[in-house]
Structure 1
Amino acid sequence: MIRTLTKRHWTLIFIAVLLILFIIFILPVSIPLIVAFFTALLLNPTIRLLQRKTKISRKVAVSIIFLLFLLLVGIAGTFIVTKAVTQVVNFAEEVPSHFNQLNDMYEEWENDLQQYTNNLPPEFVKQISDSIEENLTALSNTAKEKITLDNIAEIFSKVPQYLISFIVYLIALFLFMLELPLLKAKMYNLLTKETAEKVSFMNRRLADVLLGFLKAQFLVSLLILAVSLIGLFLITPEVAIMMSLIIWIVDLIPIIGSIIILGPWALFLLLAGDTALGIQLAVLAIILLAVRRIVEPKVMGQHIGLSPLATLIAMFIGLKLLGLLGFILGPLLFIAFNSAKEAGIIKWNTKI
């Protein structure tokens, strides 16, 4: 069988091995560079548009777009980080009092339960009561140990590491934005004319689909933001704006969605005794979930022709293999594969 392999087969095997080694060893430590490259691709149409409208050089256009992007990220990051730190610190300080409230609720519940268990064996009732009390005590102790100001400070002590990665990301982003035309020209010089035409078609198709995907996600997320903002203003206006922004950001991730914020929030309020507010938040979570499930398929179909199921599968597999970066790379690789098939680069007509 080995003798039947041609030079082309050996080349493909060698490339596949290199790709696997790259994914295993290089990709995990290259996340800032990879994210910078894809960000540059997303910003490149804006750079070209600015060049066409103002007739300025690419270097000047790149500098303007980069500064605007930096300003936007800085404003959003400052607002989100400031609010998040304040909320996390307040939550950590209030955790013991919340669990004391739960213990008081348990004692009241235990007294009420005794009225309905008079006819049951005392040993059985005592065993259940002790088991519940042990679980609540263990949960309270675990939360008090994990959610402390010291642990939060330890998390924030890693900020310098993230800051270095962010600086590398910004530098790489600026250089990629400058060098994209040169990188594209060098890549096409390595290809034959026929292959270059196929790759060019695939790139155009990939750019259109990617832009449509981002546009569809953004449009759906705006609807989620509007519904959550209206709902929270009616339910709890004190934190409506902040929590709506958090829900909006989290809801951009299809696998997670707004339920990851509203679900625990509603459950905690129900356990703390605020039944009315907990039920209202649970209803809002169901409404947001229904809105996304109804609107998303239609919007996705109109903009990219990629079904939500395929998007979900690609993001889930990407998450398992590459972590959070897989949320972006998973659908991109799926779209790139389909584009390569349409361009004729990948020929797969196997039938069973």
Structure 2
Amino acid sequence: MQDKRKIRIALIMLGATVFVFLTFRYLLPYVYPFILAYFLVVAIMPVVKFLNHKLKLPKSIGALITLLLLVVILCLILCFVGVKVAQQARMLIRNLPIYQSVVLSNMNDGCNCLEKIFELSKGTVLNIVQKNVNDFLISIESNIMPMMTEQTLSIVLKAVGVFTVIFIILLAVILIIQDLDSMKMYYENFIFYKELHIVISKLAEAGIAYLRAQGILMLITASICTGGLFLIGNKYALLIGIVIGIFDAFPVLGSGFILVPWAIILLLTKNIYQAAIILTVYLLCQLTRQFLEPKLLGNRIGIKPIFTLMSMYLGVNFFGVVGFILGPIALVLIIAIVKSLCPELEMKSIVKTNKNEKMNILKFWKKH
């Protein structure tokens, strides 16, 4: 009996994994605008209801006004940030030869030390470093710069595609809000409502909480880093701040992957003030994540960092850059499906599930 139960659980886990993979690979590219539209409806619905109750505006008109204001605000922010990041990226690429000479001059002493330790002839280590740096710069000049200048047409076509998707999402939002009540009734009368409701509620609780928490934390971290780099007069404060904010979302790596080595280099080069600012920025990022992450997530995710990192790695390999987000969502969805089909299962090796959550799942299952 125990063996049959194990085989059943293993088959359910395998089936859930295959189902999620195939859905993300083949179905998601065609339906993601409507999924995003639904999440946008959930986000703006409080404002739409407020306009409907207080100003007696129809929900479709309230949704249109809310969306227009949201689009204008987001466009202004994205245009400002995008222009600044593009300017700083171009400046960084143009100034790479200057930074090369500065880095090589600072590394000269270190290379001499290594040559003495390993009893190498003078200039051996430095020549190797110079060759690698020159190859890196040549690859940038031959690949990245032509791509930025010669692929204007493809960039324009992609931009048109993005705007088309955005238009479809906005139109879908208005249509969903118009028929929200009838869609809800249809959903509640659906034959697989019980099973879908358990999975979707768990995914909404965990998946949305994860995305919202990571988005807020990345934004705050990027803002702290940008402000700190601005204080030390860094020309690429916004660009580097955004990069560090993205790195901070990775388990284990975090902002310290960039900030700590940077601070050490500044200390070795006797830039005490800049090193102190960088270390302060790192501490603020760590304190912010430690303080806000439990409040934003609570016990709704509970996935151990190693499994989050594995899901990100697999996601990037299967789905490209967007897999950085899809990987953890896929893991949350797989766990939600398995829990819905095996409510008695305690996934101790993967999920930190507290007693209240277990009882709520079992009560919900028995009730329905």
TM-score (norm 2): 0.66
Residue identity matched to 2:51: T
| CA shift in 2, pair 1:348/1:70, >3 Å | same
Take 2:265 and 2:344, find their aligned partners in 1: how far apart are those partners? Answer: 53
Aligned to 1:83: 84
Take 1:144 and 1:65, find their aligned partners in 2: how far apart are those partners? Answer: 49
Residue identity matched to 1:129: G
Take 2:197 and 2:39, find their aligned partners in 1: how far apart are those partners? Answer: 17
Aligned to 1:165: 161
Aligned to 1:178: 174
| CA shift in 2, pair 1:249/1:156, >3 Å | farther
Residue identity matched to 1:196: Y
Take 2:43 and 2:346, find their aligned partners in 1: how far apart are those partners? Answer: 43
Aligned to 1:39: 36
**Contact map agreement 1:216 1:303 (CA 8 A) in 2:** no
| CA shift in 2, pair 1:170/1:153, >3 Å | same
Aligned to 2:123: 129
Aligned to 1:188: 187
Structure 2: gaps (5+ residues): 1-13, 348-368
Take 2:162 and 2:261, find their aligned partners in 1: how far apart are those partners? Answer: 31
Aligned to 1:325: 322
Output one character per residue of 1:67-126: Cα deviation in whole Å (capped at 9) or x when no partner. Answer: 23322331122112211221122112211222233444566777x769x96xx99xx542
Output one character per residue of 1:236-265: Cα deviation in whole Å (capped at 9) or x when no partner. Answer: 145596358525752573346434654686
Aligned to 1:203: 200
Take 2:202 and 2:27, find their aligned partners in 1: how far apart are those partners? Answer: 28
| CA shift in 2, pair 1:113/1:210, >3 Å | closer
Aligned to 1:336: 333
Aligned to 1:60: 61
| CA shift in 2, pair 1:38/1:260, >3 Å | farther
Deviates more, 1:43-52 or 1:149-158: 149-158
Aligned to 1:302: 298
Aligned to 1:142: 136
**Contact map agreement 2:316 2:322 (CA 8 A) in 1:** yes
Corresponding position: 1:287 with 2:283: yes
Take 1:224 and 1:320, find their aligned partners in 2: how far apart are those partners? Answer: 26
**Contact map agreement 1:216 1:299 (CA 8 A) in 2:** no
Take 1:228 and 1:249, find their aligned partners in 2: how far apart are those partners? Answer: 8
Take 2:262 and 2:277, find their aligned partners in 1: how far apart are those partners? Answer: 8
Residue identity matched to 1:324: V
Take 2:22 and 2:209, find their aligned partners in 1: how far apart are those partners? Answer: 32
Output one character per residue of 1:212-242: Cα deviation in whole Å (capped at 9) or x when no partner. Answer: 33443355446535643564355x1455963
Take 1:141 and 1:305, find their aligned partners in 2: how far apart are those partners? Answer: 44
Picking from 247, 250, 257, the partner of 2:246 is: 250
Deviates more, 1:80-89 or 1:214-223: 214-223
**Contact map agreement 1:229 1:241 (CA 8 A) in 2:** yes
Structure 1: gaps (5+ residues): 1-12
**Contact map agreement 1:314 1:330 (CA 8 A) in 2:** yes
**Contact map agreement 2:34 2:169 (CA 8 A) in 1:** yes
Q: Which has the larger radius of gyration?
A: 1
Take 1:101 and 1:16, find their aligned partners in 2: how far apart are those partners? Answer: 50
| CA shift in 2, pair 1:166/1:140, >3 Å | same
Deviates more, 1:278-287 or 1:315-324: 278-287
Residue identity matched to 1:166: V
| CA shift in 2, pair 1:98/1:267, >3 Å | farther
TM-score (norm 1): 0.69
Aligned to 1:347: 342
**Contact map agreement 2:228 2:278 (CA 8 A) in 1:** no
**Contact map agreement 1:220 1:295 (CA 8 A) in 2:** no
Aligned to 2:312: 315
CA RMSD of aligned residues (A): 4.5
| CA shift in 2, pair 1:348/1:160, >3 Å | same
Residue identity matched to 2:169: L
Identity of matched residues, % = 16
Take 1:332 and 1:324, find their aligned partners in 2: how far apart are those partners? Answer: 14
Take 1:197 and 1:250, find their aligned partners in 2: how far apart are those partners? Answer: 37
Deviates more, 1:286-295 or 1:165-174: 286-295
Query: Alignment partner of 1:254: what SS?
Result: coil
Query: Alignment partner of 2:123: what SS?
Result: helix
Take 1:47 and 1:100, find their aligned partners in 2: how far apart are those partners? Answer: 52
